[in-house]
């Protein structure tokens, strides 16, 4: 005779299932588990550029927030193609982040007939990081002590003076300068802003256009002579350097900007978590202070704002390619 107080097998199974479910973490905890291992930031330029500086700062802050290491890897070369491809070839799990600039995320679309990637469909935005004005710099021994003297010499000998271009973005900024000033100078390509600045400092080339975050140390140290800052107002980091308008070239303004993206195949939950963390860092007062010391400024905006900004930048540089009669590569 069966014990009427004993539970049936089905009841025991049901109780066990309830106990097992109770032991599992709730749904949101799965998302909270990301990131659970080191994150990699890929920078398509050598160390020393504004992009690299941003990656290292945001990487440090992200590590503080997540308690996970953030590794910055520099993969320069081929106009940023190498860095982009390394991100696209990595697992799309949110642990490989592309920290790019206006060159890789906008200008390349305008400058190249055919890209090995599409920055609007192969990548998805996470957050803006910073914007910095461009500095026109020459060697300290250069005979050109002002923008007016440089323009005069370039007009007198078309094609003789050359400039170091650290990326496609800097190349188009230089070509916009040529179009605005009525000059013709020759492009000498380099893998990044730091290499271009070193070439100017060693007098291998006549001049360069570089973001102020990369150039200011060499300018303050007497390794470069800054002729102008291409912005509306003087940069606090280089207060003695005139704006391009003050230097006699009104209408010429140029900035670099930096933002973070991941491969488009990355799951939505990881994209949203990364975007939230990076925009949190961008809004920190210490982030604003950090960039102010660099002569730059933070750029507010998460994924949606960055997507709209990127589209506008691509349209702008396409117009400049046409206006300055730059031959697509």
Give the pLDDT score at 251: 87
Domain at 156, CATH number: 3.40.190.10
Residues 204 and 281 in one domain: no
Can you tell me the distance from the alpha carbon of 115 to that of 236, in angstroms, rounded to the nearest whole number? 37
CB-based contact 210:170 (threshold 8 Å) = yes
Long-range pairs for 275-283 at CB < 8 Å and ≥24 separation?
275/125, 275/126, 275/127, 275/302, 275/303, 277/62, 277/65, 277/66, 278/58, 278/62, 278/126, 278/127, 278/129, 279/127, 280/65, 281/58, 281/61, 281/62, 281/65, 282/127, 282/128, 282/129
Residues 151 and 117 in one domain: no
Residues 309 and 172 in one domain: no
Is residue 10 included in any domain, yes or no? no
Residues 138 and 127 in one domain: no
Question: How many domains does one find in the chain?
Answer: 2
Is residue 242 included in any domain, yes or no? no
10 Å CB burial of residue 188 (0-12, 13-18, 19+) is middle
Residues 119 and 144 in one domain: no
Place of tokens 């990081």: 129
Is residue 301 included in any domain, yes or no? yes
Is residue 251 included in any domain, yes or no? no
Residues 220 and 290 in one domain: no
Domain at 279, CATH number: 3.40.190.150
Which pLDDT tens digit goes with each residue over 68-88? 999 999 999 898 999 999 999
Residues 102 and 155 in one domain: no
Give the pLDDT score at 8: 53
Containing structural domain, residue 205: 133-229
Give the pLDDT score at 302: 86
Residues 147 and 181 in one domain: yes
Give the pLDDT score at 301: 82
Is residue 235 included in any domain, yes or no? no
Can you tell me the distance from the alpha carbon of 318 to that of 320, in angstroms, rounded to the nearest whole number? 5
Is residue 84 included in any domain, yes or no? yes
Can you tell me the distance from the alpha carbon of 264 to that of 75, in angstroms, rounded to the nearest whole number? 20
Parts of the chain with a pLDDT under 70: 1-32
Side-chain-side CA neighbours of residue 252 (13 Å): 28
Residues 80 and 140 in one domain: no
Is residue 30 included in any domain, yes or no? no
């Amino acid at each position: 005779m069966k014990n009427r107080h004993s539970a049936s097998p089905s009841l025991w199974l049901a109780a066990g299932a309830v106990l097992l479910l109770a032991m599992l973490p709730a749904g949101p905890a799965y998302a909270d588990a990301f990131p659970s291992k080191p994150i990699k930031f890929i920078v398509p330029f050598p160390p020393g550029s504004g992009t690299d500086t941003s990656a290292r700062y945001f990487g440090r802050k992200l590590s503080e927030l997540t308690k996970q290491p953030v590794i910055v890897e520099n993969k320069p070369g081929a106009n940023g193609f190498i860095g982009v491809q390394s991100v696209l070839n990595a697992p799309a799990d949110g642990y490989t982040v592309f920290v790019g600039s206006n060159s890789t995320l906008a200008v390349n679309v305008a400058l190249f007939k055919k890209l090995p990637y599409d920055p609007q469909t192969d990548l998805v935005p996470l957050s803006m990081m910073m914007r910095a004005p461009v500095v026109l710099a020459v060697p300290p021994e250069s005979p050109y002590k002002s923008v007016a003297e440089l323009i005069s010499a370039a007009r007198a000998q078309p094609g003789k003076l050359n400039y170091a271009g650290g990326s496609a973005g800097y190349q188009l900024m230089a070509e916009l300068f040529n179009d605005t000033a009525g000059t013709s100078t020759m492009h000498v390509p380099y893998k990044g802003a730091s290499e271009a600045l070193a070439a100017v400092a060693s007098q291998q080339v006549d001049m360069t256009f570089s973001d102020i975050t990369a150039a200011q140390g060499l300018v303050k140290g007497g390794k470069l002579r800054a002729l102008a800052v291409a912005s509306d107002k003087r940069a606090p980091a280089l207060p003695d350097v005139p704006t391009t308008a003050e230097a006699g070239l009104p209408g010429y303004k140029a900035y670099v900007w930096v933002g973070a993206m991941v491969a488009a195949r990355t799951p939505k939950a990881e994209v949203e978590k990364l975007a939230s963390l990076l925009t949190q860092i961008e809004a920190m007062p210490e982030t604003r202070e950090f960039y102010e010391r660099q002569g730059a400024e933070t750029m507010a905006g998460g994924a949606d704002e960055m997507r709209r900004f990127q589209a506008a930048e691509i349209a702008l540089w396409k117009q400049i390619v046409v206006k300055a009669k730059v031959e697509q590569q």
